[in-house]
A = this chain, B = another copy of it.
Amino acid sequence: MDKINLKNDYNAVGHPLILKALEAELDHKFVGYGTDEICARAKDLLLSKIDKPQAAVHFLVGGTPVNLISLSAFLRPHEAIIAPDNGHINVHETGSIEATGHKIVTVPGEDGKISAASVQALCDLHSDEHMVKPKLVFISQATEIGTIYSLKELKALREVCDKNQLLLYLDGARLPSALTASDNDASLKDIAALTDAFYLGGTKNGLLFGEALVIVNPALQSEFRYLMKQRGGMLAKGFLLGIQFLRYLQDDLFMEIAQAANKQADRLREGLKVVGVEMVTTTSTNQIFPIFEDKIVERLKEVALFELWGKVSDHETAIRFVTSWLTTDQEIERLLMAIMKAYDKK
């Protein structure tokens, strides 16, 4: 039997309905670089969902490019990005932001999130031209460890940004998973209302590839396509993104796909709770971080694929389970059974 693959949510070609949409256009010829009709329709559909008719939408391939192109487009050379110290953009992007010339200044990540208070404290420290000027707060929804910001937390961040003339940018690689989490209270419209720019991820939620960057703040919209082109982010066959996003947004397919992933995560969480497994943190999205004794981890490797997240004590390790729309009821059951069995043997 195949191992249960919970390594990540970008391990498959894509959702069948997305591939079908591409197939349907096999005989069609498009104009290039995302200036086609279908991209326009996909953008309009997205705008209609966020109540921001003046926002600018750009489709790009991958979170790293979206982030590095956006941030370097929005900032002057001496302006810096505020991010959580353990955040992906600070640790796991091979210095992609610094390679565009900008420093990331960090605040402590609390459950993967940053607080308005820590942003204010950091701004207070940066007083003159011998230090970079913090200018943009970078958050992820859901965060890298699967937690989500509440509407209240987001509003507090908006407030501290306004007070310090900072931009608020939201990395939405897993935004659909956050939007469909059981305890989420921040809607897509809220996100659009509270941020200067954000992106709605597709790659980790059923698209072959693609993220939709939404630049809400008009002051940041100017000549953005120049920057996309310059940094290598303008796809010649831009219509491939338009085709996928149009289908993704139609009938809120993106919500449906995320719900499927979250549902399996919920079931897994429930099961782990019953078994009494400890967690690194409480999540409600498609990522779960249980802590197991090392010997249990070894046994689980025989039935499932997952990431090791880090040693918790000398004999315990945190691991990461990620569900996707492809995860099945059977797989979760098999996994829970294996866990219970491993515990029994202990």
A residues with a Cβ closer than 8 A to B are 5, 7-8, 10-14, 16, 19, 22-23, 25-33, 61-65, 68-69, 72-73, 76-78, 80, 91-96, 98-103, 129-133, 203-204, 208-209, 223, 225-237, 239-240, 243, 326
Which 4 pairs show the lowest CB-CB distances between chains A and B? Answer: A65-B232, A78-B226, A95-B103, A94-B230
How far, in Å, is A48 (CB) from chain B's closest CB? 26
A223, B133: Cβ atoms closer than 8 Å: yes
* Complex partner residue of A72 from B30, B77, B228, CB under 8 angstroms: B77
24 A-B contacts, Cβ less than 8 Å apart? A10-B236, A13-B243, A19-B19, A19-B23, A22-B208, A23-B23, A61-B61, A62-B235, A64-B229, A64-B232, A69-B232, A77-B95, A77-B230, A78-B226, A92-B131, A94-B130, A95-B103, A96-B229, A132-B230, A133-B223, A133-B226, A209-B236, A209-B237, A231-B232
* Complex partner residue of A19 from B22, B91, B233, CB under 8 angstroms: B22
A99, B12: Cβ atoms closer than 8 Å: no
Which B residues lie within 8 Å of A64 (CB)?
229, 232, 234
B236, A62: Cβ atoms closer than 8 Å: yes
Which B residues lie within 8 Å of A14 (CB)?
26
Which B residues lie within 8 Å of A133 (CB)?
223, 226
Majority DSSP secondary structure for residues of A touching B: loop
* Complex partner residue of A99 from B7, B16, B27, B231, CB under 8 angstroms: B231
CA–CA, A11 and B93, complex, Å: 32
Which B residues lie within 8 Å of A229 (CB)?
64, 78, 93-94, 96, 129-130
A95, B80: Cβ atoms closer than 8 Å: yes
* Complex partner residue of A16 from B5, B26, B68, B223, CB under 8 angstroms: B26
Which B residues lie within 8 Å of A19 (CB)?
19, 22-23, 26
Which B residues lie within 8 Å of A209 (CB)?
235-237, 240
Which B residues lie within 8 Å of A129 (CB)?
94, 223, 225-226, 228-229, 234
A237, B203: Cβ atoms closer than 8 Å: yes
B29, A237: Cβ atoms closer than 8 Å: no
A232, B62: Cβ atoms closer than 8 Å: yes
Which B residues lie within 8 Å of A234 (CB)?
64, 129
Which B residues lie within 8 Å of A94 (CB)?
78, 129-132, 226, 229-230
